[in-house]
Amino acid sequence: MTAPTTTTINVTDAIKQALTEEMRRDARVVSFGEGVATRYQDLVQEFGPLRIRNTPLAEGIIAGTAAGAAATGLRPVIDLLFTPFICYAMEELVNSAGKLRYISGGQFSFPLVATAWTGSGFTVGAQHNHNIEAWFVHSPGLKVVMPSNPADFKGLLKAAIRDDNPVMYFIDMPLLFQEGEVPEGDHVVPIGQAATVRRGTDVTFVTYAKMVHTCLQAAETLAEGGVSAEVIDLRSLKPWDEGAVLASATKTGRVVVVHEASRTCGMGAEIAATIGERVFGELKGPVVRIAGPDTPPPSSYALEQAFLPQPDAIVAAAKKLLG
């Protein structure tokens, strides 16, 4: 088998490439949201104005429309812009898309993808940046993905569009212009499968999105001191790859979970609890969380950096575990 041809593109283009390919592949795929048609004039040309649409600034009805369309045969990809705006769409995403399959006894399915930007780095402040991914992990019937690199952004969007369930697709904003090798054509990353992005034996960093790169920096620093850190990029948060995480926890016996989202009831709590329940006997120390504080995400660049987990803190946590 020959390796697929790759091109170097950024995350923004990888997302568009995935959407374009899926719209060519399946006439049921439609996309709408605030400025979608404005941004994707060429897709309007290619697919027509019924499949790519602008909407009013009304997140509730964008999400509700997606749920109604999904229940009746379309596969909508909606752009809700920034995660705090999703608060207007919680009813439609949580009560309709997430619950109505169950409530209807399986009569209907809701194949839709809701995308939104989040993440510190652009100093946009707490009403344009809020890592709320755990809210949806806690809501039944939804899936949640949060990629870290251009290839995964493409592959997970394609998987999300093909999935018969509602998928929340979170885009860590500072990654939008990150470039990387992206396989051309049908590159699909299965939802629920983590990637071990660095192999190691002494300590495991479990993380996702932008923090993958922070953890890789920390791992580099540790390597200089002879410590071998493994870095697991979850990629999917619901379902999350328990098998990969537990195997690595068993191997290294030391786990640091790192995410930008606020610490309390974040993904890290779930991951730490699961490791404790399942492989407690293999651990050489407690599972440690490095996460954002329980504050609104700040705007000032200096405060954003103070909010974000930094490589130094991760290195220190690893060293403490190593004793």
Contact of 128 with 196, CB cutoff 8 Å: no
- Say which residues have a Cβ less than 8 Å from residue 264's Cβ, sequence separation at least 6: 294
Q: Is 128 marked active-site?
A: yes
Q: Which residues of 174-203 are buried (b: 16+ CB within 10 A; e: fewer)?
A: bbbebebebbeeebbbebbbbbebbebebb
Contact of 115 with 62, CB cutoff 8 Å: no
Residues in a beta bridge with 259: 291
Least distance (Å) between residue 127 CB and another protein: 18
Q: Which is nearer to another protein, 237 or 308 (CB)?
A: 237
> How many Cα atoms within 13 Å fall on the side-chain side of residue 189?
24
Q: Which is nearer to another protein, 174 or 192 (CB)?
A: 192
* Of residues 279, 265, 199, the one with CA closest to residue 232: 199
Q: Which is nearer to another protein, 55 or 250 (CB)?
A: 55
Least distance (Å) between residue 25 CB and another protein: 17
Least distance (Å) between residue 30 CB and another protein: 8
Residues in a beta bridge with 233: 195, 207
- What's the DSSP call for residue 96? I
Q: Which is nearer to another protein, 101 or 198 (CB)?
A: 101
Least distance (Å) between residue 86 CB and another protein: 14
Least distance (Å) between residue 89 CB and another protein: 9
Q: Which is nearer to another protein, 66 or 151 (CB)?
A: 66
Estimate the crossing angle of helix 211-224 against helix 311-322, to 10 degrees: 50
Look at strands 52-54 and 29-33 and give their pairing.
Answer: parallel
Residues that bind another protein (CB under 8 A): 30, 50-51, 53, 55-56, 58, 60-61, 63-74, 76, 91-92, 95-96, 100-111, 140-141, 143, 164-165
Distance, in Å, from the CA atom of 23 to the CA atom of 236, rounded to the nearest integer, reads: 23
Q: Of 128, 187, 213, 259, which residue is the catalytic one?
A: 128
Distance, in Å, from the CA atom of 278 to the CA atom of 273, rounded to the nearest integer, reads: 9
Q: Which is nearer to another protein, 155 or 166 (CB)?
A: 166
Least distance (Å) between residue 126 CB and another protein: 23
The residues carrying an active-site annotation are 128
